[in-house]
Structure 1
C-alpha cells in the first residue's frame, strides 16, 4: 500500500471533532503545553483522555495560542478521534467533558467537523477585545481580572484616529515579538474603540492572524495616544519604522479576551488551509500608511 493510500485509510478511520472553548486565563500559563506549568491545552487533552477511557492522549490543534493570563470566549480547537471512539462517545461527550473539566475552562460546543477543517489554518479571522478603565476610582472589583486600569483619562476619538492609520496589510514587526522562521506580515481588518455605558473602553482588534504580543503592543501604543502622551500619527510612524520602539509598552494580559474565530464555508476550507500555510511577503512598493 502506497503512502497516499495509507493516509486515506488512516483519515477514514478517524473523525475530526471541533471544540468551541471558553476559559478564564488568570490561572493558566497560556494555551500551549509547558512542562511543570498549568495550561489550557493540557487540561482539555487530559479531560478528553479520561472521558473517552483512552490509554493514549489526543492532541488538540487550536485557532490561536493565547499567552499566559489571556482569556477566551470563542476559542476553537480540533481533535481527530478514532471513529469507534466518536460513535461510542458523541452523545455524551459534551456532558462528560463538562463534568471532568475545572470551572475556569468550559467546552461550549462539541461537533463533528468536515475532514478539511483545521482550527488553525482554516481560520480567516480572529477577533479580540481589550478592556480598559480610566475611572479615577479604579476598576470594579468584580471585573478586576478582565479589565486593565489606566491612570489617565483616555480620549476615545484620538485612539480611533490613530487606529485607522494601522488598518490593512503591513509588516507589524514593530509590534511583534519575532519568532525564528515566522512572518510578521498581517492584515488588520478592524481596530476600533468604544466606551460602554459603564465607562469601560473596549478595543476590538480583528485580523487574519496575529503574531506574538501584537494585540497587547498595539493597545499599549494607542493608550499613549489616548492619554495625550503621543499624537495620533505616532503609532503609524512606529509601524513604518519596522523596529520595536521602547516607548511601546506591552500591556498586561488580563484585559484581553479572544472573542471569536471566523471560518469560510465548508467547500472553501481546504483552499484556505493551503493559503494560510504560505509565507507571506509584501510588494516592494507597499507602504504602511
Structure 2
C-alpha cells in the first residue's frame, strides 16, 4: 500500500531534504521515524518527495509517498490518524506531519506533480524586520521597486532553458516551464515573490530572486533579466540569495483519474531529458 504524506518543516537546522551520512536531513528524520513507529527494520522503507529542498529552505506544503509492505499494512489501524500522532510524537518540533492518507491508485509524489509553488519573503525596510521571523524572511537593507521587478519577471515566464539560473548537473536538463513569477506585498508589507513551475533545477528560485533584487534596487534595468536568460550561462552579476527566505508552499496534482497518465508522461520526459542532457 502506498501512503501519501503531507508535511511541513522549518529548514534552518536541516541539511536539505535528501538523506546524507552523518547529517540531519528531512528525508533521514522522516524515514527513521517511520521505521520506529511502524516497527520495521532500518532500510525497509523509502520516502520520495515532490521536490527536494536545499539546505535551509522551508516547506509548508511538501508532499511525499512511501510504499508499505504487506506485513505493515496488516497491522495498521482503520484510521491513519493515530499513526500521524505517533510520528509527530517521535519527530522533533521543526518537522510536522499534517496528514497520512492512503494514496489513490497511480499516485507518485514526484512524477505525478503538475507544479510546485514557492514563496520568497523579503523585509526591505527597517520597520519590517521582525526578529521573530528572522529564520523565514530575508532582511534586505535597501527598498525594492516591485513594479520594476514584475516588469523584469514577465520576460522570464514560460518554457525556457534556465541554465543561467541553475547550478547545472552533468546529464541533467535545465529546460523548465516557469508558470508564474510575480511580486506583491503581504498585509504586513513584506515583499513576497510567488514562483510556480512544473519543476525547478538546483538553486533556480534563489538565483531568479537574486536577479530580480538587482532590478528592484535600480542597479539593473528590467530588460537585464531576459538578457541573462538568453545567455544560458551563469552570470557573476546574478547573486544566489540566502536559503532562509524561501518556502515550498504547495504542490499541485491532477485529478485522481489522471494521476497514472501524468506519471507516465513525466517519467518519459525525464528519461528523455537525462538521455540527451
Alignment-derived partner of residue 37 in structure 2: 51
Whole-Å separation in 1 of the counterparts to 2:70 and 2:183 = 46
State whether structure 2 residue 25 is matched by structure 1 residue 35: no
> Which of 172, 183, 186 is matched with 1:193 structurally?
183
2:109 matches 1:119: yes
After the TM superposition, which residues 1-289 of structure 1 pair with which residues of structure 2 at under 5 Å, given as runs? 15-56=1-42, 57-90=44-77, 91=79, 92-137=82-127, 139-277=129-267, 278-279=269-270
- Structure 2 unmatched ranges of 5 or more: none
After TM superposition, give the deviation of residue 199 of structure 1 in Å: 1.7
2-side partners of 1:170 and 1:78: how far apart? 30
Superposition TM-score, scaled by structure 2 size: 0.94
| Consecutive unaligned residues in structure 1, runs of 5 or more | 1-14, 282-289
Give the number of aligned pairs. Answer: 267
Q: TM-score, normalised by structure 1?
A: 0.90
Displacement after TM superposition at 1:197 (Å): 2.7
After TM superposition, give the deviation of residue 233 of structure 1 in Å. 0.5
Larger CA deviation: 108-117 vs 67-76:
108-117
State the shift of 1:137 in Å.
4.8
| SS state at 2:34 partner | helix
| 8 Å Cα contact 2:7/2:63 also seen in 1 | yes
Runs (4 or more) in structure 1 with deviation over 4 Å come to: none
CA contact (8 A) 2:31 2:47 kept: yes
What are the superposed Cα offsets for residues 158-207 of structure 1, whole Å, 9 maximum, x if unpaired? 11111111110000000000011111100000001001231210100000
